[in-house]
Amino acid sequence: MTATKTELRSFLETPLPSASLVFFRVGLSVLLLLMLLRFYYRGWLSDYYLKPAYHFTYLGFDWVQPGSGNSLYWHLWFLVGCTVLMGLGYCYRWACWGFVLGFGYLELLDKTPYLNHHYALWLLVLLMALMPLGAAGSLSQRHLQPLPGWCLWTLRLQVGLIYTFAGIAKLNGDWLVAAEPLRRWLPALSDTPWIGSLFLIPILPWLMSWAGMLFDLTIVGWLLWPRSRNWAFAAVVIFHTLTALLFPIGVFPWLMIFLVLLFFAPDWPQRLWQRVRQGRQKLFRPELQLAQTQSNFSFRWQIPVLGLFFLIQFCLPLRHWIYPGNVLWTEEGFRFSWFVMLIDKTGSVEYKVQDPASGRFWLVNPNQELTGFQTRMLQTQPDLIHQYAQHLGQRWQAKGYAKIEVYAEAYASLNGRPSQLLIDPQANLMAIPRSLKSQSFLMPLLL
């Protein structure tokens, strides 16, 4: 046992060429930069955080609120600064932690814009903050000195978890038997130039569903096996490029193509560069790294930290099993679990605020206060419906109605099913506290 432990430790501490990690650090910074600038130019900072009069904060984080005036724009430029410094490798750790805290703050402000790839990016930068990636190919250290193997393997493990859990999430009847939601998504793309008519092929949704599931579940294995790696990478490029062209999923496909490069040999950028330049010029004096056999970096405090990190990463995507019912319907344990492109929901919500003392009631349409985007998210997500009911109750309490009751008439359709009640219309949502426990007001999925 001790021998295995020693071998594992030795394996993880073995220095590896750092070119791949340097490429990762710079590339991820560029992607983050593009994402932040896109966020700015599309006006999403204003749409998601400044325009809304009410924010759907995470449980326990109600105290996280947007600053006044232009402070959020300054915050965005702070994140841009962190990203640039990360890429340059200057004040690297400070920049990483600055980004982790800053981007985390932005995400905690409101959960309606939650996206899996935002979460993935945040996790990757958090891992980067634990690694000495600024110690090679950077402004402060131009030499490509080797970096310990655990850096590369940690990132590979994280990427592997994303694919694997995304694949496991696809092992359900909606995806495999009903080919939903692709069965409704694809015909809607029939007007796509050149290839539109292909989306009318009846069997295509099933083929794509099964291929997607097999791809997610097995791609890490194919990437780790040197003999299949090139083909697997080609499959990754084709798969994600197709999803980028067909579905509005932002930088996610490009991020995954980029991350998969971590599975190539750690010196692949040098080899590629040398091949391109035919060996006449070498990048960052690579001869130095080849002479190095021992890492300059210790691997002590990272062991428990990374252990805890991956324990959480293994448990979070599985936590939905604790809750009763179909997670795609109840969405209890849905976020942070790599449920990617699995559900298509539409919904409708109307609130009834009632004063039991006088019998008076008020029907409230959420779009009277919420933005269009927030309303769309609220209509299908039970925890948001509950949270907003409590907010409405508090508003009426502030008007002097001490014992106010709030009910929601919420209908939703999941993956093409007929619309059905999502929330028990008899449940007084004001009387049910927000918590991580399974909520009694959820109606079971009937079909």
Binding site for another protein (CB under 8 A): 42, 44, 47, 113, 115-117, 171-178, 181, 184-185, 187-188, 190-191, 196-197, 200, 202, 214, 217, 247-252, 326, 340-341, 344-348, 360-363, 367, 372-373, 375-376, 411-413, 416-419, 447
If the CB atoms of residues 57 and 420 are measured against another protein, the closer one turns out to be 420
Nearest 5°: the CA angle 217, 220, 226 is: 140
If the CB atoms of residues 140 and 241 are measured against another protein, the closer one turns out to be 241
Nearest distance from C-beta of residue 75 to another protein, angstroms: 20
Question: Within 141-267, where are the H helices?
Answer: 149-169, 173-176, 182-185, 204-224, 226-246, 252-260
If the CB atoms of residues 13 and 409 are measured against another protein, the closer one turns out to be 409
Q: DSSP letter string over 127-154?
A: HHHTS-GGGSSSSS--S---EEHHHHHH
If the CB atoms of residues 267 and 331 are measured against another protein, the closer one turns out to be 331
If the CB atoms of residues 18 and 379 are measured against another protein, the closer one turns out to be 379
Nearest distance from C-beta of residue 131 to another protein, angstroms: 27
Contact 430, 356 (CB under 8 A): no
Nearest distance from C-beta of residue 350 to another protein, angstroms: 8
Write b or e for each residue in 405-427: b if 16 or more Cβ atoms lie within 10 A of its Cβ, otherwise e. Answer: bbbbebbbbbbebeebebbbeeb
Write b or e for each residue in 84-121: b if 16 or more Cβ atoms lie within 10 A of its Cβ, otherwise e. Answer: ebbbbbebbbebbbbbbebbebbbbbbbbbbebbbbbb
Nearest distance from C-beta of residue 316 to another protein, angstroms: 17
Nearest distance from C-beta of residue 18 to another protein, angstroms: 32
If the CB atoms of residues 97 and 247 are measured against another protein, the closer one turns out to be 247
Nearest distance from C-beta of residue 5 to another protein, angstroms: 27
If the CB atoms of residues 69 and 248 are measured against another protein, the closer one turns out to be 248
In angstroms, the Cα distances linking 137 to 140, 297, 379 are: 8, 16, 48
Distance CA 307, CA 154 (A): 10
Contact 346, 380 (CB under 8 A): yes
Nearest distance from C-beta of residue 165 to another protein, angstroms: 14
Residues 6 or more apart whose CB falls under 8 angstroms from that of 1 comprise: none
If the CB atoms of residues 60 and 416 are measured against another protein, the closer one turns out to be 416
Nearest distance from C-beta of residue 23 to another protein, angstroms: 25
Distance CA 366, CA 385 (A): 9
The conformational region for residue 48 under phi > 0 = left, psi -120 to 50 = alpha, else beta, is alpha
Report the SS3 class of residue 362: strand
